[in-house]
A and B are shown apart, each in its own frame.
Chain A
Amino acid sequence: MLKTKLCGHRLNNPLLLAAGVMGSNASSMNWILESGAAGVVTKSFSKEANKGYNNPTTVEVTGGIINAIGLSSPGVESFKEELKKINKDVNGNTKNNGKIAIASIYGSNPEEFSFVSSEIEDLVDMIELNISCPHAMKGCGAAIGQDPNLTYKIVSKVKNSVKIPIIAKLTPNVTDIGEIAISAENGGADALTLINSLGPGMKIDITTGRPILHNKFGGMSGPAIKPIALKHVYNVYESVNIPIIGVGGIRNYADVIEFLYAGSSAVQIGTSILYDGPSIFNKINNDLGDFIKSSDFSSIKEMIGIAHRN
């Protein structure tokens, strides 16, 4: 009943782990899969190792958190060792269990994106392009996703380098997300993830007068951003023909339903693990199952885009 499809992949349910949360090693991602998620998106990585910003990198605020981790990653060569173990059997083959592994990658130019994509293509089911991190180094992250031409160039370059489906993860921090979404679709994106964290925002300690994050600014995530994420999904659904993965502040089954109604084919959950731990996935699946049973729907597919009916 919760089964759905995304870019040709069968999923046990519409819940995926969002990039940047418990996605630094295969062990934690396998735990998330065992906890009911139908897929995981890794923490973003690129060609070279990067230690990210100094602490504090994360601060809790009303309605969620602000983070400026700074895209820390061990680099593609090291991270391959983790990718080889996500949802794989003892022989290293992908388990045929309705669960998928998605690699989130970042870079500063089309060549870097395509290099990293080609390196990992055989180890994952899909690739999510992080062109939307609001606290990335110069030339990375949102600097790309705020520019329709650069978005097109990177998406099309990766699309021409790999055979597996690619997803463009977009930033909400633009004037017209629809324009960027269309650029990504024209570039050959097989799906879109909406939205990356909001802002950047900041928090200042009132005793010392200092910004708490070492980077001063960071991306806002968590329940407070859900209405904004939902609105972006709703708008973009009307502009593109490729599936949308909704993400932003999802904490319970009702939030998932809203995202499906707005036009998401699947959703990602990240920050709410702060409140509920990995068990949030099974909990939402159970509640979502109960909701569908008591409704007139018989599948997830029927629920997608309901809010667009007149």
Chain B
Amino acid sequence: MAKSINEYEISEIKDIIIETDTIKTFIFDWDMEEGRIPKPGQFMMVWSFNGKQDEKPMSISKIGINNNEIGITIKNVGEFTNHIHNLEIGDKLGLRGPYGNNFSINGNKILAIGGGVGMAPISTFVEYAREKGKEIDVISASITKDELLFTNRLDNCGANIFTCTDDGTCGFEGYATHRTINILEDSCYDMAVVCGPEIMMKGIFNILEDASILAEYSMERYMKCAMGICGQCCLDNTGWRVCIEGPIFTSDQIKQIIEFGKYHRDASGVKHYL
């Protein structure tokens, strides 16, 4: 019988790719059994049982169906992620998943927009959509050139990359929102996929709505069980669970998620406004 996705797989870190000063990709062996093959946009629960003990949801950034490997890209933003960043090849983490829904492909020409470490799920989508022969333009945004993610990888799979940095050190100078407005002047798309800081996604959402482009957005919330029962990641006003109905939501769904781009709840349930 195939293992339940809720069962932990204690996995050795097989390789660590230093992507930027603050971002690393951790590679693990992962048996691509039925029901456990990750789809673009899904996430894993990553359990650290030594040192800083905790467990957090992390996007899958590499799906190696043929070599039975997955990659998880993590930005060093706090105690937990700092602990993970200090781990070495051969160290172990507990993994369960993959969880959540996935990006879908609608149409032939697709705009993929990723901000910062939000490029993680975007990258797996782009590779997948390229395999299906889709034409993909990628807006890869970050604060500066050294923080851009996966540029070579996505270039190699045949996507058109449009880099965009806040300080203008690589490509367009400005925010992903500006780059999106800019690119829509010359091109039209059948759909878009978006992942990044929620304030960025909110801006992109308004732009894509004006341009009548249906899109899918990857959301993030504090999670506990990831199995759809604890209620921690439920969204206002629909009650949808980010771990089950999400993390990917369509434009129509985003319109019903009143907290999108406004607030989120912490571990105790207290709201924090953006």
Contact = CB atoms under 8 A, between A and B. Distances in A.
Contacts of A28: 231, 234, 239, 241
B269 A24 contact: yes
B89 interface: no
A108 interface: no
Contacts of B53: 54, 214
A212 B6 CA distance: 12
A298 interface: no
B239 A51 contact: no
Given A27-B236, A205-B94, A273-B228, A51 B10 contact: no
A270 to B, nearest CB: 7
A31 B256 CA distance: 13
Contacts, number: 129
A73 B268 contact: yes
B225 interface: yes
Main secondary structure of the interface of B (DSSP, over half): loop
B143 interface: no
Given A25-B265, A51-B266, A72-B268, A212 B8 contact: yes
A57 B239 contact: no
Contact of B239 (A20, A31, A56): A31
Given A60-B6, A72-B267, A72-B268, A55 B230 contact: no
Contacts of B265: 24-25, 74
Contacts of A74: 265, 268-271
Given A58-B225, A60-B7, A79 B239 contact: no
A57 B234 CA distance: 17
A60 B227 contact: yes
A210 interface: yes
A56 B10 CA distance: 14
Contacts of A205: 8, 10, 49, 94
A18 B234 CA distance: 16
B56 interface: yes
A60 B237 CA distance: 28
B239 A27 contact: yes
A270 B229 CA distance: 8
Nearest to B54: A54
B110 interface: no
A146 interface: no
Interface in B199-214: none
Contacts of A270: 229
B14 to A, nearest CB: 16
B241 to A, nearest CB: 7
A43 B224 CA distance: 14
Interface string A40-76: 0001000001111011111110000101010011110
B135 interface: no
Contacts of B229: 21-22, 58, 65, 270-271, 273-274
A239 interface: no
B219 to A, nearest CB: 14
Contacts of B240: 31
B263 to A, nearest CB: 12
A67 B238 contact: no
Interface string B37-60: 000000001010100011110000
Contacts of A22: 228-231, 234, 239, 241
A21 B268 CA distance: 15
B231 A56 contact: no
Interface in A1-42: 20-32
A72 B8 CA distance: 24
Contact of A27 (B10, B235, B269, B270): B235
A27 B268 contact: no
A30 B8 CA distance: 33
B234 A52 contact: no
A23 B231 contact: yes
B239 A277 contact: no
Interface in B87-120: 92, 94
Contacts of A207: 10
B4 interface: yes
A171 B270 CA distance: 28
Contacts of B237: 27, 30
Given A22-B234, A28-B234, A205-B94, A274 B227 contact: yes
A241 to B, nearest CB: 34
A55 B231 CA distance: 14
A69 B270 contact: no
Interface string B250-274: 0000000000000001111111000
17 contacts: A20-B230, A21-B229, A22-B239, A24-B230, A24-B269, A25-B239, A27-B237, A27-B239, A30-B237, A50-B268, A51-B267, A55-B55, A72-B267, A72-B268, A208-B94, A212-B94, A277-B244
Given A67-B230, A72-B267, A205-B94, 19 more contacts: A24-B232, A24-B234, A25-B239, A28-B234, A30-B239, A32-B239, A43-B269, A51-B266, A54-B55, A56-B55, A58-B229, A65-B229, A74-B265, A74-B269, A74-B271, A78-B269, A205-B10, A208-B92, A277-B244
